[in-house]
Amino acid sequence: MIRRFFVGLLFFLLISCGKNEKPIVAFYYWKTIFKLSPAEKEVLRDNKVSKLYIRYFDIGLHPETQDPIPMSPIRFQENAANFDIVPVVFIQNKVMSLPRLNIDDLAQKTIRLVEEMNAKNKIAVEEIQIDCDWTLKSKDNYLRFIEQFKKLSKKKLSATIRLHQVKYFKKTKIPNVDSGVLMYYNMGTIANDSLNSIYSKKVAERYLKSLKKYPLHLDFALPIYSWAIHIREQKVIGLRSKLNVNELKKDANFEKIGTIFFKVKKSNYKNGVFYEENDLLKIEAISSEDLIEMGNDLDKNLVHAPREIIFYDLDEFNIKNYEKNIFKQVISCF
Amino acid sequence: MKRIFLSKLFLVSSAALLSVYGIIHACGGGDDWDFFSANSNFTPETFADKSYSPLFLSGDIFYGIGFDTQHNSRFNEDIKSDWSTYLKGKADAATIAYFLIGEETTRYSSEKGAPQNKTDITQLHVFFKNKKENPTSLKWGKKINLKDDKIKSFIEFLYLAQKIETVSVNTDYWSYDPVVAKTFDDLKMIQSIENVYNTTSDSFLKNRYWFLTAKACFYSSNKKKTIEFFNKTEASVPKNVLYYRALSYVAGINHQQKKYSTSNYLYAQVFDKCPELRIVTAYSFRPQNDADWNKSLAMAKNNKEKAALWAIHGYYKDESQAIGKIYELDPKSEHLNYLLTRLVNGQEQAINNSFEVKVKSDDYSSPVVKQTVAENRVENKAKINTKAFDLVAKIAAAGNTEKPYLWDISLGYLQTLKGDYAAADINLNKAEKTLPKTELATYQLRLLRFVNNMSKIDKLTDKNEKTILADLNWLYQELPKTYKGQEFRYQNAAQWSKNYLAALYRAKANPVMVELFGGDAHANSYYWGGGNAFYDNEKNLSNMKTFLAKSNKTEIEKIGTGIYYLKLKDINNFQAVQATFNNKIPEAIAFIQQADSVQYYTFLGNPFNGNIKNCHDCDHKAYQKKKYTQLEFLNTIKAMQDKLAQKEDVYTNSLLLGNAFYNITHFGNGRTFYETSIVGYGSNPYSFRDSMKKMITNCDVPRMYYQKALEAATTKEQKAKCTYMLSKCERNEYYNTKYNNLKNWWEADDDKINFLAWSNFKTLKKEYSDTKYYQDVIAECGYFNTYVNQ
């Protein structure tokens, strides 16, 4: 009883802090095995991170039967109970685009699997997040799935929201969730051009104004990942994540041309990938300045302050690209 | 045994791969990646063994299947046939299949519990152990002799094998194991399996138990033991499929231990010797860097082993290099076949078959300009990789490969693409001499000869036209009807030849023939129902009509007419629609009568009704005493216009005419009247090209008739009705200016104005508020109601 009182008091205090309350730092964890490196632990500790959004599994289609099936569920090799865990289920849009999708069945199976994973890993959760880049074609299925999921899971439900879904929400509709997370990345096509597909202020500006009109509470997800786009004969043939630019600079098989491109001078294997002579690697990354810019731009266009800033994604490789206090700097924009 | 969990086996044998896919699935968010399109004239299935087909060039991970789909079923046929031979005369094929594979039930049912065949095996095992009959033994005892040694060995083997399957196979997709890979840790059981291997004298069983021991070790937590066991025993083991399966376990463990060069070397040997595992080994082969790769090469004990490494390496691109190396090491290597198909298919990808170039090459939405045949030839010629070409030429000339004809036919085709048509003829002829007489090979040769012959044409003449006629008919008419297979790639040549002919006729300034062979048929390619803008030009239209009507067509004209998607009736129909919208009804009647069955198409709703709401679904559902055909519709209009000219019943006739012309617009209940292949289709005006959008949204004609009706109206009710109808036209006009004149709906100004107080609204309120019709409008029309209540 007393404890509840204190919790209530704390809550009251939090609320009464009102506008000055800064959002908390949270992270997405998107790897298939949950095991934190010392550097990752340090970041979590330094930023007092208590909340992790962990990708539990994807839902895709079985290549032969076209039935929805879970893919690469995460395995825990480390105790996650110290954190508030929000399981995230990534649903491929093609699943939601199936014309005869059994929505009840899928919602039930998804909840059952999340619960099974929670039970087997001794994780208690209060919220579940669904991640799906739904389109006009898959809208109806997706919205019904969310309704059904919410009804059955009896948990707080959040969903990721893409920029276009904010701007055109009258067309794309708003899923019936408790809150949304605006993915402030994936702003272009993964293409053989000189633009950054992760973030572009120009592209973002086209959407920012719509934020004020969006009726659902939004927290923000900001990118800290980088990758290289592997291009052969003007065609994108793959994404190479966790590619160390400094290492590329030192590698005689690669030549830096321009600010973001590397050219393969001699065919070679690197990290298990074959690079053919004349292939191009286009590096896409997010600088500290970009992150601050995002924070400021978002703050200028807000109605309600976000409660959380979630960085995508928690990985030693990503963190090493930034100064230690970057997360605090971003939070202070709000 | 058939149930599978996709990631499971990958994780055990090749952990590295998951992360590769993880990126594309999890982070990329892009669901569908595929740059490979079917712009190919070269069917790899003609030349390479089936076991290579997933490795043919593709934008997917694996050609035709995307991902490997056979993790747990790959050896089903093998084991069925092995055991059937062993148990000949003792059990029938169905029984053996039942015990091995189980019943053919739906694979992904989430029902829990062991499949029946596994329960049966366990029960029979219990029976053998206790020597006490149970229901299962009684049941099966009637079908097979359970006392027979071989039957007993079969069941006991399966009993042990299925124990391992509890960790090697997941039975339910929608279940979760908290560990990455379950291990089989009943060491006593593994020992007892090995004991059977050591003691049995039956060579068939000995071989199976040898494999089962290796498998059990592989799934145990003591993976090293697999390698020890394998090394100790391999010399005495026959080099069959089981041997290579075990060898791939060894390769997998080496990968897990980060001994990549050994792992890749072993995978290459399995790739070489075990066709069933080609897809798995190609997938698992992952040199981490050049040092790994060179070490693997150094491990090869002879030329064949080295060639195997290059063969698998070639799957990860740079086929030319791989071909060159393998050819030096072992010119008769079978691997060369699949690599050469990849090389040729790769060259094809660069070819421009469309005879169009983008104005700005790096802009997806860039407009395109047409190429001439000469321009297209220059562009394509430059794209052929000389190094690859020279290599193929060299090997073809030597003629010492397993399939010399494959090199000749490939060289011939590459020469075509390069513009050396005479040399291509020579090599295609050379290939013909030793080409197998299969349907696919015969078709392939004919197709490449056609491509070569067609490519020779700079300018269409009576003479060179003759060289392609038979093949055009074959491509357009015969193959679609007679070819029942899936593999043969002829569609690209069919489309390419149309584009080619269109380019030739464009050079001859013959728009009719250009149109027949594809031209710009779909002016608004963004939408599937964009219609055909060719007919917006009156001269084109009349020329096409004359052409289609003439009886003395040449052969090529007949071919063009045969593939053209429009017939004379479609053009007449289009003219009827245009004439109607222009209020030239006698003309429209004449055209619709020449539009075959179209004149008898009926309207879905009554086209003479004018309701308060624009609700075509309601009008379609409403009871209709008379269903109007298009011809009757036009005739009725004609009759009303005649009466109107005689000043007969002016109010009624004008009102009905207004309704009729209103209903055939986008806003009315009779859209099917204009929805044709030339005008276009769509529930949204943006689906239509500008000229048609304007035609179908314009309400000037109905407005003119409603105005006439208003002037002739005698009662207040009548006047109220006409005023309201006029306000509908006014509102449509507003929509037309605000939305329909734009290119896309999202360009529209979001000013939240859904309606205005149109002048006829005002009149209706001011002058006719005491009519019944006014009350009806208030009840049905929300806009008006809102206006009134402002």
At A30 the three-state DSSP class reads coil
Query: Do you know the residue count of chain A?
Result: 334
Asked if B173 and A70 come within 8 Å (Cβ–Cβ), the reply is: yes
Asked if B174 and A30 come within 8 Å (Cβ–Cβ), the reply is: no
Chain B: residue nearest A269 by CA? B289
Q: Distance, in angstroms, between B490 CA and closest chain A CA?
A: 24
How far is residue B295's CA from residue B32's CA, in Å, rounded to a whole number?
36
How far is residue B153's CA from residue B206's CA, in Å, rounded to a whole number?
11
Chain A: residue nearest B178 by CA? A75
Residues A134, A170 within the same domain:
yes
How far is residue B162's CA from residue B94's CA, in Å, rounded to a whole number?
19
* CATH number, position A168: 3.20.20.80
Which residues of B are less than 8 Å from A92 in CB distance? 25, 31
CB B632 within 8 A of CB B673: no
Asked if B288 and A32 come within 8 Å (Cβ–Cβ), the reply is: no
Residue of B32, B35, B176 to mutate, interface with A, max A Cβ within 10 Å: B176
Q: Report strand pairing: A84-91 vs A51-61.
A: parallel
Look at residue B285 in the predicted model and tell me its pLDDT.
Answer: 93
Burial of B312 (0-12, 13-18, 19+ CB in 10 A): buried
Residues A270, A304 within the same domain:
no
Does B597 contact chain A (CB < 8 Å)?
A: no
How far is residue B1's CA from residue B170's CA, in Å, rounded to a whole number?
9
CB B44 within 8 A of CB B57: yes
Residue B168's alpha-carbon distances to B44, B108, B118, B216, in angstroms, are: 35, 17, 15, 9
Residues A79, A221 within the same domain:
yes
Asked if B286 and A272 come within 8 Å (Cβ–Cβ), the reply is: yes
Residues A141, A81 within the same domain:
yes
CB B464 within 8 A of CB B555: no
Does A33 contact chain B (CB < 8 Å)?
A: yes
Does A76 contact chain B (CB < 8 Å)?
A: yes
Tokens representing residue B319 in the block: 């086929």
Residue ranges of chain A whose pLDDT lies below 50: 1-19
Q: Distance, in angstroms, between B517 CA and closest chain A CA?
A: 30
Which residues of B are less than 8 Å from A73 in CB distance? 176
Residue B183: count other Cβ atoms within 10 Å of its Cβ. 14
Nearest to B7 among A71, A117, A233 (CB): A71
Residues 296-315 of B with CB under 8 A from A: 313
Residues A262, A320 within the same domain:
no
Residue A18 domain flag: no
At B502 the three-state DSSP class reads helix
Domains of chain B, by residue range, sit at 356-383+436-563, 604-789
Which residues of A are less than 8 Å from B110 in CB distance? 109
Residues A254, A292 within the same domain:
no
Tokens representing residue B655 in the block: 């009102």
Residue of A29, A30, A32 to mutate, interface with B, max B Cβ within 10 Å: A32
Does A324 contact chain B (CB < 8 Å)?
A: no
Which residues of A are less than 8 Å from B350 in CB distance? 233
- Residue A274 sits at φ, ψ, to 5 deg, of -95, 125
Tokens representing residue B729 in the block: 């036209």
Chain A: residue nearest B6 by CA? A71
Which residues of B are less than 8 Å from A32 in CB distance? 18-19, 22
Q: Distance, in angstroms, between B394 CA and closest chain A CA?
A: 23
Residues A219, A325 within the same domain:
yes
Look at residue B363 in the predicted model and tell me its pLDDT.
Answer: 61
Does A237 contact chain B (CB < 8 Å)?
A: yes
Chain A: residue nearest B59 by CA? A237
- Residue B607 sits at φ, ψ, to 5 deg, of -75, -5
Which residues of A are less than 8 Å from B293 in CB distance? 269
How far is residue A177's CA from residue B769's CA, in Å, rounded to a whole number?
47
Which residues of A are less than 8 Å from B175 in CB distance? 113, 116
Residues 125-164 of A with CB under 8 A from B: 133
Look at residues B581, B57, B656 and name the one whose alpha carbon lies nearest to residue B317.
Answer: B57
Helix and strand element counts for chain A (H, E): 12, 18
Residue ranges of chain B whose pLDDT lies below 50: 1-37, 106-111, 522-527
Does A102 contact chain B (CB < 8 Å)?
A: no
Total number of domains in chain A? 2
Which residues of B are less than 8 Å from A186 in CB distance? 29
Which residues of A are less than 8 Å from B23 in CB distance? 227, 239, 241
Chain A: residue nearest B313 by CA? A274
Q: Dihedral through CA A293, CA A296, CA A299, CA A305, nearest 10?
A: 90
Does A31 contact chain B (CB < 8 Å)?
A: yes
Q: Distance, in angstroms, between B41 CA and closest chain A CA?
A: 20
Look at residue B744 in the predicted model and tell me its pLDDT.
Answer: 59
Asked if A269 and B318 come within 8 Å (Cβ–Cβ), the reply is: no
Residues A176, A135 within the same domain:
yes
Note down the domain range covering A254.
232-275
Residues A141, A220 within the same domain:
yes
Residues A151, A271 within the same domain:
no
Does A60 contact chain B (CB < 8 Å)?
A: yes
Asked if A94 and B32 come within 8 Å (Cβ–Cβ), the reply is: yes
Residue A3 domain flag: no
CB B657 within 8 A of CB B719: no
Residue of A94, A113, A269, A273 to mutate, interface with B, max B Cβ within 10 Å: A269
Q: Distance, in angstroms, between B484 CA and closest chain A CA?
A: 22
The set of long-range contacts for B687-695, using a CB threshold of 8 Å and a minimum separation of 24, is B687/B524, B687/B527, B687/B529, B687/B530, B688/B524, B688/B527, B688/B529, B688/B530, B688/B531, B689/B523, B689/B524, B689/B530, B689/B531, B689/B533, B689/B536, B691/B533, B691/B536, B692/B531, B693/B740, B695/B578, B695/B581
Look at residue A238 in the predicted model and tell me its pLDDT.
Answer: 82
Chain A: residue nearest B67 by CA? A63
Residues A175, A261 within the same domain:
no
Asked if A109 and B174 come within 8 Å (Cβ–Cβ), the reply is: yes
Does A190 contact chain B (CB < 8 Å)?
A: yes
Chain A: residue nearest B261 by CA? A272
Look at residue B218 in the predicted model and tell me its pLDDT.
Answer: 95
Q: What is the DSSP string of B397-408?
A: HH--SS-HHHHH
Residues A271, A308 within the same domain:
no
How far is residue B123's CA from residue B722's CA, in Å, rounded to a whole number?
87
Edge-to-edge strand list for the sheet holding A261-264:
A235-241, A227-232, A280-284, A261-264, A254-257
Asked if A113 and B32 come within 8 Å (Cβ–Cβ), the reply is: no
Helix or strand run (H / E) with residue B369: strand B368-370
Tokens representing residue B618 in the block: 């309601």
Asked if B362 and A192 come within 8 Å (Cβ–Cβ), the reply is: yes
CB B141 within 8 A of CB B76: no
Residue of A72, A195, A254, A311 to mutate, interface with B, max B Cβ within 10 Å: A72
Residues 10-29 of A with CB under 8 A from B: none
HEC states along B629-673? EHHHHHHHHHHHHHHHHCCCCHHHHHHHHHHHHHHCCCCCCCHHH
Burial of A12 (0-12, 13-18, 19+ CB in 10 A): exposed
DSSP state letter for A332: T
Residue A15 domain flag: no
**Residues in CB range of B412: below 8 A, 6 or more apart:** B423, B424, B425, B426, B427, B428, B430, B431, B448, B452
Nearest to B180 among A75, A133, A237 (CB): A75
For residue A261, list its beta bridge partners. A257, A282
DSSP state letter for A83: S
Q: Distance, in angstroms, between A331 CA and closest chain B CA?
A: 24
Which residues of B are less than 8 Å from A276 in CB distance? 317-318
Residue A11 domain flag: no
